[in-house]
């Protein structure tokens, strides 16, 4: 199936014809539930003269964590006060820091001029094993860095399948709807400015885009497949009704959402019955929405940066972009059962 992606890649050399795009839809997303802000406390951290100060908060509720230990390279450890504040004399932006607190994952990060450091709470519903499956491909051969988007991707939904047949407008509209709801749900609204367009030919330059293709090839035995968190991203959906993908010759909402989840950096879950399970079925298949447990862990993923590594290590500003092309992993999906 890798060859099929190279076939798709040929489309990059086509001349873009904006006038042929149809059903263009630009969606502005709201910022929801963002835990990065610190509106009430001391405004983040400052590197004032020879002192670095900041605040350590919990991902559970955004509140300051008392008694957290902050170890900055080259300096004696500091401890946060009752409101989560810390100060370290002589520390400057760019230094690496290790932050630990009871009931939370230890985080390694780089100090910034303005600094609020949130630690991932180990309280339910968070579970490290589940997070490693969804965010790091623990069901695969090796744990991966986060393959999330730092900037909002655009999605292009093709209106002609690989065999040259028109795709039903109903199917195109369904994909557009599911893409919109999945991006908002998976990222907790963090990626404002999502664009979803459709037409017979995608943009020439696909950087920043996810190209959604269809096939009615009777030899294609899957319901769909996608690249996990790559830029450009790719999805292939089956219109072959003999594959039993949910809605006759249309993919089910669950099948579409599952593949969109892959493009947003979600891997497979070993627990059955969830959206990113290897077999999507039942109500989840019909709804096209992440389950609450997946939504919780996906929101934590998108509170981090691309290439954050296990367990919670942020990339260095100097070396963090060395794998910026991401892992070109094709997540193939087995049959998606009718809802
Ligand atoms: Zn899959």
pLDDT along the chain (339 residues), means of 10: 27 30 22 24 46 91 97 93 92 87 96 88 97 94 91 96 95 94 94 90 95 93 88 92 70 89 94 84 80 97 94 77 45 47
Give me ligand 1 centre to Cα 100, in Å: 34
The reply to whether domains 6-37+128-332 and 46-114 share a CATH topology is no
* Residue-level pLDDT at 3: 28
Between the CA of 91 and the centroid of ligand 1 the distance, in Å, is 45
pLDDT value of position 135 = 97
Distance from the alpha carbon of residue 305 to the mean position of ligand 1, in angstroms: 23
CA of 94 to the centre of ligand 1 (A): 38
Distance between CA 3 and CA 206 in Å, rounded?
Answer: 18
At residue 133, the pLDDT reads: 96
Question: CA–CA separation, 270 vs 211, rounded Å?
Answer: 27
Q: Ligand 1 centroid vs 333 CA: distance in angstroms?
A: 4
Burial of 218 (0-12, 13-18, 19+ CB in 10 A): exposed
- Give the pLDDT of residue 330: 58
Whole-number Å distance, alpha carbon 234 to ligand 1 midpoint, is: 13
Task: Say how many Å lie between the CA of residue 269 and the centre of ligand 1.
Answer: 9
Query: Which residues does 214 contact at the CB level (< 8 Å), separation at least 6?
Result: 158, 161, 162, 167, 171, 236, 237, 238, 239
Task: Report the DSSP pairing between strands 116-119 and 195-199.
Answer: unpaired
| In the chain, where the domains are located | 6-37+128-332, 46-114
CA atoms of 156 and 235, how far apart (whole Å): 10
Give the chain's radius of gyration (CA, Å).
22
Which residues are CB-contacts of 325 (< 8 A; sequence separation ≥ 6)?
A: 230, 231
User: For domain 46-114, is the CATH number 2.60.40?
Assistant: yes
Distance CA 104, CA 214 (A): 43
232 prior amide bond cis, ω within 30: yes
**Distance from the CA of 139 to the center of ligand 1, in angstroms?**
12
Contacts made by residues 40-45, CB under 8 angstroms, sequence distance 24+: 41/83, 41/84, 41/85, 41/116, 42/83, 42/85, 43/114, 44/114, 44/115, 44/116, 45/111, 45/112, 45/113, 45/114, 45/115, 45/116
pLDDT of amino acid 50: 65
Pairing, β 209-215 against β 246-247: unpaired
The gap between the terminal CA atoms of the chain, to the nearest Å, is: 27
Sequence-ordered list of residues with C-beta below 8 angstroms from that of 28, at least 6 positions apart, any chain: 192, 193
Q: Which of 47, 60, 53 is nearest to 101 (CA)?
A: 60
- According to the model, what pLDDT value does residue 332 have? 54
Ligand 1 center–CA 46 separation, angstroms: 43
How much distance in Å is there from the Cα of 261 to the middle of ligand 1?
8
Give the Å distance between the CA of 306 and the centre of ligand 1.
Answer: 20
CA-based nearest residue to 23, from 236, 240, 175, 145: 175
Nearby residues of 208 by Cβ (< 8 Å), 6 or more positions away: 151, 153, 154, 231, 232
Cα of 275 vs centre of ligand 1, distance in Å, is 9
Q: How far is the CA of 292 from the centre of ligand 1 (A)?
A: 18
Whether 55 and 83 have beta carbons less than 8 Å apart is answered as: yes
- Domain 6-37+128-332: CATH class, spelled out: alpha beta
**What three-state secondary structure class fits 261?**
helix
Alpha carbon of 268 to ligand 1 centroid (Å)? 6
């Amino acid at each position: 199936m890798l060859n099929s992606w190279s076939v798709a890649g040929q489309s990059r050399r086509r001349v873009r014809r904006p006038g042929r795009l149809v059903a263009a839809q630009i969606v502005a997303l709201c910022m929801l539930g963002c835990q990065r802000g610190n509106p009430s406390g001391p405004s983040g951290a400052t590197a004032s003269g020879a002192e670095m100060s900041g605040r350590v908060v919990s991902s559970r509720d955004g509140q300051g964590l008392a008694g957290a230990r902050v170890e900055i390279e080259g300096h004696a450890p500091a401890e946060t006060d009752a409101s989560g504040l810390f100060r370290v004399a002589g520390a400057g932006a760019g230094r690496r820091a290790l932050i630990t607190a009871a009931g939370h994952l230890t985080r390694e990060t780089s100090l910034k001029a303005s600094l609020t450091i949130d630690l991932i709470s180990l309280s339910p519903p968070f579970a490290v094993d589940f997070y490693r499956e969804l965010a790091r491909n623990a069901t695969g051969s090796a744990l991966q860095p986060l393959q999330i988007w730092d900037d909002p991707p655009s999605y292009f939904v093709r209106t002609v399948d690989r065999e040259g047949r028109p795709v039903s407008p109903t199917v195109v509209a369904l994909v557009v709807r599911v893409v919109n709801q999945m991006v908002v749900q998976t990222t907790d609204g963090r990626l404002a400015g999502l664009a979803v367009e459709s037409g017979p030919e995608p943009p020439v330059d696909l950087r920043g885009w996810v190209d959604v293709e269809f096939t009615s090839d009777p030899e294609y035995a899957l319901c769909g497949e996608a690249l996990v968190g790559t830029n450009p991203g790719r999805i292939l959906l089956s219109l072959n009704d003999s594959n039993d993908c949910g809605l006759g010759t249309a993919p089910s909402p669950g099948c579409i959402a599952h593949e969109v989840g892959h493009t947003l950096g979600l891997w497979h879950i070993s627990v059955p019955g969830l959206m990113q399970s290897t077999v999507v079925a039942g109500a989840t298949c019909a709804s096209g929405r992440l389950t609450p447990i997946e939504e919780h862990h996906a929101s934590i993923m998108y509170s981090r940066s691309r290439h954050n590594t296990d367990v919670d290590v942020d990339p260095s500003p100097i070396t963090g972009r060395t794998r910026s092309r991401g892992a070109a992993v094709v997540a193939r999906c087995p049959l998606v059962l009718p809802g």
